Amino acid sequence: MRKVFPVAHASRDRETRAQSGYPWRMEGIFINYRSGNHFAAIERLYDRLIWHFGKNCVFLDRSSIRGGERYPDVLREKLEGCEVLLAVIHPGWLIDADNETRLIDREGDWVRYEIKTALELGKLVIPVRLDDAAIPGVDDLPEELKELAVRQAIALRTGGFAADVEVLIGRLEHQVTPSWRPPELVPPPPAGTGARRRLAVVAAAFAGVAALIVPPVLALAYGRPVAADEEAPLSFQAAMWSALFMTSYPIIAGLLGLVRTRINNAEQIMHPISSNRYNSRFAIPVGMTTVALLSMIILAASGLTFPAYVTIMVLLVTFAGYVVALVRAERDEEDEERNWPRRPRWPITAPALRRGVERVRNRLTVWPAPLNREQQLKAEWSLAVLAEAADDFRRQGAGKRHAWLNRKFPRLTLACGLWIAATVGLFVASLSPDIAANPTRVRYYLAIAVFTGVVLAIFASGGELLYRYWRWMYGNVAAEVHDEVRELRGLLEERGPTSGVG
């Protein structure tokens, strides 16, 4: 026979097991009853309780004991493990009407044994009256069961059975340990403290210095001053083309700001769509079309040349990597769907928030009412996590500009820094031989200063426009998610345990 844990340590033992990851599988509710023609009501009660609390949380001997098991041992084990015992009392529960004998006084009466054991173990014992059954008085019960007479009873009437069961469920809600526990909180990795990130920053700094210094040094070593009637050096042409291409950055950022509402409306439609559907109907067809069009343009412009073949191969390899990334994202989404609910991955993104909202909406729409306890807990927890994630998402967009840029686009920031250094380095290289030949001419230094200022202004304006767009987007998506969460909480309340009661 199993050891009986003291009642004072039962909840602590349960908490210890939960914290250690031990799958605490216990029978939260033990249904105690006496056999008779009222068993249909017992089965109806059992069915409603297992729907709400889960089959592993409710014990009924006829349904829960497997063939070949020793029922005295099973009963003792379930009594030790339960949190609540429902003592179902029907007319004739105490005295047999046929022979006027007291059933509760019989030798080996299991009803008496189960109630007695539950009281000794300190379990919550709730008398449940069927129809017009009366709770026995203190003087009618054996000494070890007298406590039953003073426990508040709950009635189950044939005419109002569904509503009465909901009252009972409400009484049990905070007494029975949930069969589902939320996943543990995993704190996000601290930004900018990893050795790999520090190494990347140091490497980018060295590369930037090299891109700024090496071209002028090479120009001084191998170049010569350019005459007025000569064509500008290649370094100057490259710097000009690079600066011209840079202007696309603020232009694109400005266009994003102008059409941000349309972009947001399109994302509201696209983000909730499953990755499988998005990839098959949009991403892959658009990618294939883009590669085909670019390939035709390249072939039409340069013909069947070796550079054209190389460029097309680069496009195909890039598209293959794009497809691999799409497939990986699709598998990640399938994993999240199987293990729902889960916390959004860090860093939080707008698609993750919108898909999280859509997952809850789909389930609340598909699940039949009334929702059981596990469904309620999962939906409530998921909505709370989404609201919390929306607040975190809003805070991500409310940071200072440099912090936002380093957090949102760390690689792009480093790449742009290298681009600026290389462009300025090429421009300085184009003037280095002239400066060496005539170091007192101020216009050379003025040209370098103006060019550097223009390049920095291009990136600063693009960064400012992009920052304003993303800050608006962060706040807009966060507000949208909070509105959706409020709506879904109302739907959850409508489909709660009392929604199907008639």
Percent of the chain with pLDDT over 90: 28
Please tell me the least confidently modeled range out of 27-31, 41-45, 230-234, 243-247: 230-234
Whether the per-residue pLDDT at 267 is higher than 90: the answer is no
Alpha helices in 231-283 (DSSP H): 234-246, 248-258, 260-270, 275-278
**Percent of the chain whose pLDDT exceeds 70:** 90
Q: Is 130 exposed, middle or buried (0-12, 13-18, 19+ CB in 10 A)?
A: buried
Give the length of the chain: 502
Mean pLDDT of 177-195: 67
Whole-number Å distance between alpha carbons of 114 and 476: 59
Among the ranges given (152-161, 244-253, 301-310, 415-424), the one the predictor scored with the smallest mean pLDDT: 301-310
Residues 6+ apart with CB under 8 A from 188: 346, 347
* pLDDT reported for residue 17: 37
Q: What is the sign of the dihedral through the CA atoms of 399, 400, 403 and 407?
A: positive
Interatomic CA distance for residues 463 and 450, integer angstroms? 20
Residue 455 structure tokens: 């390049």
Q: pLDDT band for position 413 (50/70/90)?
A: confident
Q: What is the rounded distance in angstroms from the CA atom of residue 58 to the CA atom of residue 52?
A: 10
C-alpha 47: how far from its chain's center?
32
Rounded to whole angstroms, how far apart are CA atoms 157 and 154?
Answer: 10
Residue 21: which region, alpha, beta or left (left: phi > 0; alpha: psi -120 to 50)?
Answer: left
What is the average pLDDT score of the chain? 83
- Give the pLDDT score at 495: 84
Can you tell me the mean pLDDT for 448-474? 90
AA identity, residue 112: R
- 288 or 63: which carries more pLDDT confidence? 288
7-172 folds as Rossmann fold (3.40.50)
Residue type at position 99? N
Is 498 a residue whose pLDDT tops 60? no
Could you report the per-residue pLDDT of 206-241, keeping only the tens digit for each?
A: 887 888 888 888 887 777 777 666 777 888 888 888
pLDDT at 6: 31
Report the pLDDT value the prediction gives residue 194, as an integer from 0 to 100: 60
Residue whose structure tokens are 């526990």: 181
Query: Over 60: is that where the pLDDT of 11 sits?
Result: no
Distances (CA, A) of 348 to 189, 354, 385, 392, 430: 12, 11, 12, 8, 45
**Who's near 429: CB < 8 A, 6+ residues apart?**
215, 216, 218, 219, 223, 233, 235
Q: Are 193 and 404 in contact (CB under 8 A)?
A: no
- Whether residue 179 contacts residue 57, with contact meaning beta carbons closer than 8 Å, is answered with yes
Q: Does the predicted model carry a pTM greater than 0.85?
A: no
Q: Flag whether pLDDT at 89 surpasses 90.
A: yes
- The residue behind tokens 């000009």 is 240
SS3 21: coil
Task: Please tell me the distance from the alpha carbon of residue 483 to that of residue 419, in angstroms, as a whole number.
Answer: 42
The reported pLDDT for the residue numbered 216 is 83
Res 298: pLDDT: 80
Residue 444 phi, psi (nearest 5): -65, -45
Question: Which pair of structure tokens corresponds to residue 152?
Answer: 């508040």
Q: Where are the domains of the chain?
A: 7-172, 195-494
Residues 56, 27: Cα–Cα separation, whole Å? 6
d(CA 421, CA 242): 11
One DSSP character per residue, 403-459 reads: HHHHHH-HHHHHHHHHHHHHHHHHHHHHHHHHHHH-TT-HHHHHHHHHHHHHHHHHH
The DSSP-derived string for 280-311 is: IIIIHHHHHHHHHHHHHHHHHHH-S-HHHHHH
CA–CA distance from 13 to each of 1, 58, 242, 286 (Å)?
19, 20, 68, 57
**pLDDT surpassing 90 at residue 385:** yes
Residue 8, pLDDT score: 32
Residue-wise DSSP of 31-63: EE---STTHHHHHHHHHHHHHHH-GGGEE-HHH
State residue 229's pLDDT score.
65
Residue of 363 and 202 predicted with greater confidence: 363
First-to-final CA distance of the chain: 45
Banded pLDDT at 185 (limits 50, 70, 90): low
